[in-house]
Amino acid sequence: MQGILVSILVGLCTGVGALPFLFIKKVPQALKDGLLGFAGGIMVFASSFNLIQPALKDGNLLSVIGGIITGTLLLTVIEYFVPHTHTKNYKEDSNSSVLKKNILLAIAVAIHNIPEGFAIGVGYGTGNMSTGLSLALAIGVQNVPEGLVVAAPLIEGGYPRGRAIFFSFLTGMGEPIAAIIGFFAARLTDKLLPFILSVAAGAMFYVVSHELIPESHCNNNEMLATYGFIIGLILMIIFKTVIGE
């Protein structure tokens, strides 16, 4: 139950990230790209040290590699068969109605949130509260800039601020659903746990490589995005060192 409640709070962090739009209307593209890089750094750290590391400790190399491949293939299949659009393509999709574009963007964010929520659920499903909390805090922190980036194209495209902020809160609510699935998947059997942890990590690696890094590097802000990525990594190293296991 604690893991589900925490995943709801983490999902709400997406909406929190959009709250600055109560006072501003536009965010510099460089800042958005830097924040995407920052989110990527956090996700890579969380996947590597909170999922892969314990999977290698308790499982074998084959189960870890198999899990990473499975997580990657799952996200690939979802991306291929589920219609969606990304923030970088939102304005370019001029042939679609505002409602259709918003729905497609919401689906894209939901796809992004699947591995994040799944990872939180798996973390708590291991029975190690420290792992679950570390993952939740890491994903919650990276959800804040994500919410800002999601709301930006809506508001810049003329969508009402209040609705755009509500939209950002709504897109984060897919995480508790994925967290429930992850929690029960981790509870199936101890023997499958390293594989399940690796599936979550593989899915998160996919999101970083397929979405966050490309989107942050397509506006001539590669250096800012790279430094954002490094800052995200450093922040999580400090965090993990301070709280320990």
Structure tokens at 190: 């101890």
The residue ranges of every structural domain in the chain are: 2-18+28-243
Structure tokens at 125: 């499903």
Between 109 and 78, the more confident residue is 78
Q: What is the mean pLDDT of the chain?
A: 83
Segment 55-81 mean pLDDT = 90
pLDDT value for 98: 57
pLDDT band at 41 (very low <50, low <70, confident <90, very high): very high
* Number of residues that make up the chain: 245
CB 58 within 8 A of CB 194: yes
pLDDT > 60? residue 186:
yes
158 membership: H or E segment, kind and range: none
CB 13 within 8 A of CB 142: no
Coil vs helix vs strand at 85: coil
pLDDT value for 102: 64
pLDDT value for 29: 86
Helix axes 161-171, 129-156, angle to 10 degrees: 150
What is the distance between the alpha carbons of residues 16 and 209, in angstroms, rounded to a whole number? 25
Segment 205-224 mean pLDDT = 90
Alpha-helical runs (H) found in 82-128 = 98-125
What is the distance between the alpha carbons of residues 235 and 42, in angstroms, rounded to a whole number? 8
Please write the tens of the pLDDT for every residue from 81-125. 776 555 555 555 555 565 566 666 667 777 777 888 888 888 888
Please write the tens of the pLDDT for every residue from 187-200. 777 778 899 889 98
Structure tokens at 116: 């994040």
What is the distance between the alpha carbons of residues 121 and 71, in angstroms, rounded to a whole number? 15
Please write the tens of the pLDDT for every residue from 129-181. 777 788 888 888 888 888 887 788 778 777 788 888 888 888 788 888 888 88
What is the distance between the alpha carbons of residues 202 and 225, in angstroms, rounded to a whole number? 22
What percent of the chain shows pLDDT beyond 70? 88
pLDDT > 80? residue 6:
yes
pLDDT value for 140: 87
pLDDT value for 221: 92
pLDDT band at 226 (very low <50, low <70, confident <90, very high): very high
Segment 18-45 mean pLDDT = 88
pLDDT value for 38: 93
pLDDT > 90? residue 66:
yes
pLDDT band at 56 (very low <50, low <70, confident <90, very high): very high
pLDDT band at 26 (very low <50, low <70, confident <90, very high): confident
Between 142 and 63, the more confident residue is 63
What percent of the chain shows pLDDT beyond 90? 23
